[in-house]
Amino acid sequence: MTVASQVKQTLATLKGVQGTLRTYNVQAKNEKAQSVYNNSLEITNVIIKDLEDRIKVLEFEEPQYKGN
């Protein structure tokens, strides 16, 4: 498995985790739990953005990985 495919797989997994966090946030009964989920969502957003930027760099440097 190439580095590009590993990064893309990690990105897909993280987006799935983010969806789960959103679900838990909606279902949370108390404000403290919602605050924790919101904080986690903000952190995952930053990581997702970083991974998306990294994928762009990988695809620019190695065009054969584009779209894989």
- Phi, psi dihedrals of residue 15, rounded to the nearest 5°: -65, -35
Task: Give the pLDDT of residue 65.
Answer: 65
> Tens digits of per-residue pLDDT, 12-63?
999 999 999 999 999 999 999 999 999 999 999 999 999 999 999 988 887 7
- CA 49 from chain centre, in angstroms, equals 7
CA dist., res. 22 & res. 44, Å (int): 11
Q: Is this model's pTM higher than 0.75 or not?
A: yes
Task: Please list, in sequence order, all residues whose beta carbon lies within 8 angstroms of the beta carbon of residue 9, skipping any fewer than 6 positions away.
Answer: 1
CA dist., res. 41 & res. 20, Å (int): 10
Q: pLDDT-based confidence at 68, cuts 50/70/90?
A: low
